[in-house]
Amino acid sequence: KTFHQILSLCKEEKIDLLLIAGDLFDDVKVSSELLGEVRDAFCTIPECVVAIAAGNHDAATPDSPYMLEGFWPENVILFTTQPECKVLPELGVRLIGGGFTGSYCYQSMLRKLPAIDDDLINIAVMHGDLVSDNARSDYNAVTQRMIQTSGLDYLALGHIHKRTEVLKSGNTYYAYSGCPEGQGFDETGDKGVYIGTVEKGYC
């Protein structure tokens, strides 16, 4: 129900780009009924580009639903490996994404970003663990320094279930939207998604 409400919001607000920063599914094993429902739902918002980065729970393993050739509708972009980019000329956006290929990601994807295009709005979506500058993580370490030097205009992060405010490091805005619905009785408080506008130097 929550998933369908989010897509309805995309219609109502005329959203150009829906960013899903990993763990859309709880596991790589997804029933064909659920997969079909999700695919058909994405087809109801053909004017909205849906960018999905594989997370640690729904990693892009060989048996992942993200690897089904010809299954996903044209408006869905899947990021299933190290950072790659897709230019969306109609939006003036250079979209960058990286996906987990297993349960862990020991090397930081932010260190491997493709070159930034200063003429476009550079937006990235990925699953990652925000840690201090000298710390490491098994879940794609992301540090303030990496964000600051990334050159991105906005970085959408997933993995942490609790949302952050929209923050800024250097000239890059970033946020965890958190999970749109609590995954247990310990995950309380306001839940939802972020809706916003990103421009050069503005979020």
**Cα-Cα end-to-end distance for the chain:** 29
Look at residue 159 in the predicted model and tell me its pLDDT: 97
Instruction: Using CA atoms of 53, 187, 129, 30 in order, give the dihedral in degrees to the nearest 10.
Output: -30
Q: Residue 123 pairs with which residues in a beta bridge?
A: 95, 154
Is the pLDDT reported for residue 143 higher than 90?
Answer: yes
> What's the mean pLDDT when you consider all of the chain?
96
The stretch 62-71 carries a mean pLDDT of: 96
pLDDT in tens, 155-185: 999 999 999 999 999 999 999 999 999 989 9
Written as six digits, the tokens of 164 are 């952050």
Look at residue 190 in the predicted model and tell me its pLDDT: 84
Q: What is the largest CA-CA distance in the chain?
A: 45
Look at residue 88 in the predicted model and tell me its pLDDT: 98
Which of the four pLDDT bands, split at 50, 70 and 90, describes residue 189?
Answer: confident
Cα separation of 16 and 22, whole Å?
19
Return phi, psi of residue 34, to 5°. Answer: -65, -45
Look at residue 174 in the predicted model and tell me its pLDDT: 98
Cα separation of 142 and 175, whole Å?
12
pLDDT in tens, 69-99: 999 999 999 999 999 999 999 999 999 999 9
Is the pLDDT reported for residue 102 higher than 90?
Answer: yes
Contact (Cβ atoms closer than 8 angstroms) between residue 54 and residue 100: yes
Contact (Cβ atoms closer than 8 angstroms) between residue 124 and residue 53: no
- Whole-structure pTM value: 0.96
For 70, the 3-state DSSP assignment is coil
Residues with Cβ < 8 Å from 60, sequence gap 6 or more? 54, 66, 67, 78, 80, 81, 99, 100, 101
